[in-house]
Homo-oligomer: A and B are copies of this chain.
Amino acid sequence: MVRKGWNLGSLVCRVGSPGFYLKMLAQESIVSSPGKVILHGEHAVVHGKVALAVGLNLRTFLRIRCSKHGKVLLNLPNLGTCLNWEVATLQTLKTAFPADSDGPKSPSPEQIAALKVFVGIASESADTENLAVLAFLYLYLSIGAKYRALPSLEIIVWSELPTGAGLGSSAAYNVSMAAALLMAHGAVGFPAQEEAESARWTAEELNLINTWAFQGEKIIHGNPSGVDNAVGTWGGALRYHAGKITSLERVPKLRILLTNTKVPRSTKLLVAGVKDKVLKFPNILNPVLSSIDAISQECERVLKEVNQNPSADCYTVLEELFDINQHHLNVLGVGHPSLDRLCQVTASHGLHSKLTGAGGGGCGITLLRPDVDPAVVEAAKQQLKACGYECWETHIGAPGISLHVFSALREEVQKVFQTFEKAEL
């Protein structure tokens, strides 16, 4: 494997298998990373139980272009933000980001403070836009320090994911960003795309992308679990247990409705509430956590079975597990009338739902069997929208960070990038 450091206009080479090939550094690359939903085990995971997190096929797309104008442009149209900096100005931050041959390190308080001063953010400011800019600058400067170059770039990020809904939008952003920057530095190659509409990296490269993305997550979340960026990187389904993340093999794609009740909630308060309840009623609540653990494990078993020998029974079990876990989450005190409503509406159409993530509002997922009548799905969607909810028909088990052929992207995504074709600087 041959890799060279980033130089504007240079060749970045990768020897891939099964055949060897060389590829010109594309003038632009488009990558995407999936969102995340917790299939089972939210909250229980905090108490040492197994959780299953899966890739959500609502994706964050990032186009990176190398340029020669000596500037770095960051365009985040979802957030209404478009910023640019002279590379020369960014060089002034080298004191906080000195050349470093070690691997990724956690962002230091000094680095975060320096970035905030640079961008002009009040020290406690935490809005989505500011955090996204900070995470970008952190990754740009740290990866630049590691590979000893600060390239001139144009980056545009557009996402299908709502922010702040527990769907891993920040991780999809950080994973896409880390992959794009590492690609720009030649730290990861261009995976083979011939004939395919998209391509993925080697396990070693994915590890590198994930590790950098995790640092970006720390900028945004302080002390993240690492699950979201792992899903954004590997996609499919991951088992998370006692801090250890394992990718499940051959995960089926499962159709779902994802519904955002848009009811805001505080994950911290919800997690604290569960802890209080477990302390108040240990003999009542600990068995519930054990039951959730068993649900995650049973779900893992059934996902394998769906892959090997899909049957109507598999989907029935998946539905039953949704129902049971939704009741358990209510027992833990993280339900909400908006989620009850979601479950009732879908149940009235014969569909099974559960909250996903922190609860107390936020999002729910509804399983769609492969043979579900499209009219039923449409009726459920209309009724959910009538409740004021946002609703997506999508699937889980989506692939992780991928490199795309532009022409193979959905028309809507192509249009977004075409809109920003010329008006960037």
**What is the total number of copies of this protein in its complex?**
2
Q: How far is the CA of A186 from the CA of B12 in the complex (A)?
A: 106
By a CB distance below 8 angstroms, the chain B residues around A321 are 284
Interface stretch of the complex, out of A61-69, A122-130, A241-249, A291-299: A291-299
Q: Is A327 interfacial (CB-CB < 8 Å)? A: yes
Contact A298 B327, CB 8 Å, known A287-B290, A288-B287:
no
Q: Which secondary structure dominates chain A's binding surface?
A: helix
Q: How far is the CA of A320 from the CA of B280 in the complex (A)?
A: 11
- Nearest B-chain residue to A348, judged by Cβ: B337
Q: Which of B284, B298, B344 contacts A283 (CB 8 A)?
A: B298
By a CB distance below 8 angstroms, the chain B residues around A287 are 287-288, 290-291, 294
Cβ of A245 to closest chain B Cβ, rounded Å: 23
Q: Is A328 interfacial (CB-CB < 8 Å)? A: yes
Cβ of A291 to closest chain B Cβ, rounded Å: 4
- In this complex, how many residues of chain A approach chain B with their Cβ under 8 Å: the count is 22
Cβ of A155 to closest chain B Cβ, rounded Å: 46
- Nearest B-chain residue to A341, judged by Cβ: B344
Q: How far is the CA of A290 from the CA of B340 in the complex (A)?
A: 25
Interface residues of A in 289-313 (CB under 8 A from B): 290-291, 294-295, 297-298
By a CB distance below 8 angstroms, the chain B residues around A298 are 281, 283-284
Cβ of A323 to closest chain B Cβ, rounded Å: 8
Chain A, residues 335-350, CB within 8 Å of chain B (1/0): the string is: 0000010001000000
By a CB distance below 8 angstroms, the chain B residues around A324 are 281, 284, 331
Cβ of A127 to closest chain B Cβ, rounded Å: 35
Q: Is A330 interfacial (CB-CB < 8 Å)? A: yes
Q: How far is the CA of A341 from the CA of B336 in the complex (A)?
A: 16
By a CB distance below 8 angstroms, the chain B residues around A290 are 287
Q: How far is the CA of A323 from the CA of B285 in the complex (A)?
A: 13
Cβ of A285 to closest chain B Cβ, rounded Å: 8
- Nearest B-chain residue to A290, judged by Cβ: B287
Chain A, residues 218-242, CB within 8 Å of chain B (1/0): the string is: 0000000000000000000000000
Cβ of A171 to closest chain B Cβ, rounded Å: 29
By a CB distance below 8 angstroms, the chain B residues around A288 are 287-288, 291
By a CB distance below 8 angstroms, the chain B residues around A297 are 283
Q: Which of B294, B327, B340, B344 contacts A328 (CB 8 A)?
A: B327
By a CB distance below 8 angstroms, the chain B residues around A330 are 323, 327
Q: How far is the CA of A268 from the CA of B192 in the complex (A)?
A: 62
15 A-B pairs within 8 Å (CB atoms) are namely A281-B298, A283-B291, A284-B291, A284-B295, A284-B321, A287-B288, A287-B290, A287-B291, A287-B294, A288-B291, A323-B331, A327-B330, A327-B331, A328-B331, A340-B344
6 interchain residue pairs of minimum CB distance: A283-B294, A287-B287, A287-B291, A327-B327, A287-B290, A284-B294
Partner-B contacts on A (CB < 8 A): 281, 283-285, 287-288, 290-291, 294-295, 297-298, 320-321, 323-324, 327-328, 330-331, 340, 344
